Amino acid sequence: MFSVALLTALGWAASGDLRACNVPVFRYALERWPADAYRVTVFHRGEMAGAQKEVVQALAAASESSANLAVAVVDAAKEIPTHHTNAWSLVKDATLPALLLQYPVSTQTDRALWSGALSAENVRNLVDSPVRRELAGRLQKGESAVWLLLESGDAAQDKKVADMLAEQLKRIEKEVELPPAAPDDPSMSAEVPLRIAFSVLRVSRNDPAEQMLVRMLRGLREEAAKEPGPLVVPVFGRGRALDAFAGGQLTGELIENVIAFICGACSCEVKSMNPGVDLLVATDWDAALTGQAVKDPPPPPLISLSALAAAGQTSQVAQASPTAPIKPPVSPLIRNVVLVLLIVVVVIGMLTAVLMVKKRNR
């Protein structure tokens, strides 16, 4: 999906010509790059049943609390909004209500990542999984990158690639050095150690709880996913997958090049100009990184979403409608300009009053 961008970024890391600061890429991404939101659209026809409304409320609550989700609800009994016509074409033949999951807008792809029935179980699996919780925990504790290994089912081949990857990571971990700090580096505030550390986290292709993650990983680069053997995906920052590599094509040199980029000085601070696709992970990154989360947070409810739905009842779920467009937030620039104008008006008024008093006293 983004191999050209990856090569370009690795070239930047090697040359250093576009270096903006000496903060390592993985640390800058962890603190400064909020995860892009996956698009989740709920399509229904007419009034939804009470249990279905509860599931939608739970989904909305998850998007507002921890998961990088953008939730929209579309009533197919009405005219489909223009910006949802493509999504509707992907599920119009499905039994409604239905869920549609798509990659973030930043990936510039509108294909369906997954679609299925609107149910508590599907929402639970969409938002959360044991591997994603473990992934987030490792990154929040300061690991430079976690290498996900999506197993192929061939135990011997999977072990061969996993052992080779672990051996190379252990070697490189001792050799690579962090870039020296520079006086003009942006400040970093996360209360986690800045260190070089890597680990391998295996993902079973057949684990029912990980099917959403499996789809995300396989969709990163479909040609690599079709190769025999496991799929290897280095993840850094706030769950950002750099790329996907077929296990049979993995070499020590390739691993070194990836690590050179992840651990090198941040060549471009603009997230959109760097390679990678964020994974859907439900965690409060800011709280964990600033020390507000004093212990590992409990996982989202895996049996019932009722409590989560209740917590989200006060929030508004955006109903996609051609007559009710989403209002954009007020620009900070506009707000500041208005504030300055008000201050100027007040100052002019005070000066005018002072001059009038002096004029009367003459």
- One-letter amino acid for residue 127 of the chain: V
Query: Which residues fall within 8 angstroms of residue 25, CB to CB, at 6 or more apart?
Result: 13, 236, 261, 262, 263, 264, 265, 266, 267, 274
Chain Cα centroid distance, residue 73 = 21
Can you give the pLDDT at residue 291? 75
254 phi and psi angles, rounded to 5 deg: -65, -45
Can you give the pLDDT at residue 266? 81
CA–CA separation, 112 vs 38, rounded Å?
Answer: 11
278 phi and psi angles, rounded to 5 deg: -70, 140
Total-model pTM:
0.77
Residues pairing with 70 in the sheet: 39
For the segment 27-47, what is each residue's pLDDT rounded down to a tens digit? 999 999 999 999 999 999 999
For the segment 344-354, what is each residue's pLDDT rounded down to a tens digit? 555 566 666 65
* Strand extents, DSSP E, the chain: 38-44, 69-75, 98-102, 114-117, 145-150, 198-203, 231-236, 240-241, 245-246, 277-278, 319-320
Can you give the pLDDT at residue 338? 43
284 — pLDDT class (breaks 50, 70, 90): very high
99 — pLDDT class (breaks 50, 70, 90): very high
Rounded alpha-carbon distances, angstroms, from residue 183 to 39, 58, 190, 196, 202: 40, 46, 19, 21, 40
pLDDT at 187 over 70: yes
Does residue 87 or residue 313 have the better pLDDT?
87
Contact 277, 2 (CB under 8 A): yes
Can you give the pLDDT at residue 341? 57
Does residue 311 or residue 247 have the better pLDDT?
247
For the segment 67-76, what is each residue's pLDDT rounded down to a tens digit? 999 999 999 9
> Average pLDDT in the 249-263 region?
95
For the segment 111-132, what is each residue's pLDDT rounded down to a tens digit? 999 999 999 999 999 999 999 9
Can you give the pLDDT at residue 354? 56
What is the percent of the chain with per-residue pLDDT over 70, rounded to a whole number?
A: 74
Can you give the pLDDT at residue 181? 85
Average pLDDT over all residues of the chain: 82
> Average pLDDT in the 16-26 region?
70
pLDDT at 333 over 50: no
What is the percent of the chain with per-residue pLDDT over 90, rounded to a whole number?
A: 64
- Of 238, 204, 236, 202, nearest to 31 by C-alpha is 238
> Average pLDDT in the 264-293 region?
86
Can you give the pLDDT at residue 38? 97
Q: Rg of the chain over CA atoms, in angstroms?
A: 24
- Of 59, 20, 9, nearest to 282 by C-alpha is 59
pLDDT at 247 over 70: yes
Can you give the pLDDT at residue 206? 95
For the segment 212-221, what is each residue's pLDDT rounded down to a tens digit? 999 999 999 9
CA–CA separation, 231 vs 272, rounded Å?
Answer: 25
pLDDT at 326 over 70: no
pLDDT at 322 over 50: no
Can you give the pLDDT at residue 327? 32
Can you give the pLDDT at residue 20? 56
Among 84-93, 226-235, 291-300, 305-314, the range scoring the smallest mean pLDDT is 305-314
CA–CA separation, 100 vs 43, rounded Å?
Answer: 8
Quickly tell me which residue has 């939804």 as its tokens.
48
Does residue 165 or residue 314 have the better pLDDT?
165
Residues pairing with 41 in the sheet: 72, 100
H or E, element range at 167? helix 155-175
Beginning with the edge strand found earlier in the chain, give each strand of the sheet holding 69-75 in spatial order: 114-117, 98-102, 38-44, 69-75, 319-320
